[in-house]
Structure 1
Amino acid sequence: MAAILIPVGEVVIEGGITIWHILFGATVVTGGAVVLHEATQEKVPATTETTTIVGTGKLDCGDNGSYEDLLKKSGDNKFDRDHVPSKAALKEAAQKIIDETPGLAEKLTDAGRKALFGSGSDPGLIAKQGQAIAIPKKDHQQHSDTYGRRNNPEKIDTDSDELQEAAKKDTKTIEDAEGKEMDDECLKKYQKAAEQIRKKTHAEYIKDLTKLIKDVIAKQ
């Protein structure tokens, strides 16, 4: 039985249906199961007998846009798509909107919640629509305030109450970090993207998240 290795960030389509957004790498056994594993850097063909790989463009350092759009490009195990502000803060802000807005919690079904917050390999609409910037993996791991355990519950809660300030702090931390792996060209792209992201106000984040929640409820 044939198998192919799918790089991080690829979208696997089989029979016209998206079956996986590969976030951590996977082995796809043709006509069989998908087995997740650590990311691989091996090249894969654009098509196979039964599987088509969509989004094989290369992610460049400093690329920015929605997380969903950046997922369409392969990071080739060199770059991470860093949410600004963090997806955890965005999800916490959305949860507060649901809890504090009369009627929303009662209207949101389990399916709607999964659509918003994600389930399994699907990161959810909140994460997908969040802004992200491609940065070297080491810079993300070593310098980002929102990487791994550094993004603790207290920070997530604080950031969710002021998303614009969170974006300002997160980007400044990366910009000011010493010993970054990103080169001058990438840093310029990062600074330009960060400048645009920092312009969005907390009120605008809340407005967009509220609309997204209501749109999902309407489509349940």
Structure 2
Amino acid sequence: MMKQSLVVLRLTLHALGGILTTIGIGLIVAGTVTPAWQVVNVTEMHAYREHGLWMDCVYGTDRNLAVHQSNPGMACTFKLDKHPASPVADTGNDHWFHVTTLALLCSAAGLGLVGLSMFCCAYCIRVAYIFWAVNTGICMVLACSAVIMFFHVANEFQHRMLHTLTEVYEQKMGYSFWLAVAGSAVYVACLLVNVLCAIIVYVVPSTHTERPRGWMMVNQHEDTLV
């Protein structure tokens, strides 16, 4: 009865780990592709600005705000574009922390996909649980490092304050940042699940049965015939 309960617990944790990994990847990707990492309402220009890792967007009614408009009142430009999206003064061309954050989050999402392949293999190969836990730990470190670094640098005065001709506005963290934070938190939970699952598999090996490989089955059949 105890063994059966542990098997059910392992399978439940296995499925939960896969679900959490998928959710974590989705949140990280959603935070990366959306532009609202820092947001500010520029009342002087009747515009709402969103600063992302690779793209900046301006929402407003002034048609002079747009360089490339997909719809009226909205303009988006790439972060490294030489032409600003609006006459509102930019926070500067020091985008190293945007690029670094983007690289860390993309790495975390990419390794998360690798983790999903280990999730599929772990059902048949016990050691895959160890690699899955290590992979998830690396994803967690990358994602947490990205959001912590961005939060620290973005709150420095030169990156937090937006200067216009007559006013100074304070930028705040947008929903994209909080999506990445949520993704990092999910990776933390996923790591705990992976570690617990690996402990169950290795402490109580009878809860995990590896499927025999084809050549082993052939050899066993030949030995039986002999």
Q: Which has the higher contact order (CA 8 A, sep 6+)?
A: 2
TM-score in terms of structure 1 length: 0.24
TM-score in terms of structure 2 length: 0.24
Structure ranking higher in strand proportion: 1
Larger Rg: 2
Structure ranking higher in helix proportion: 2
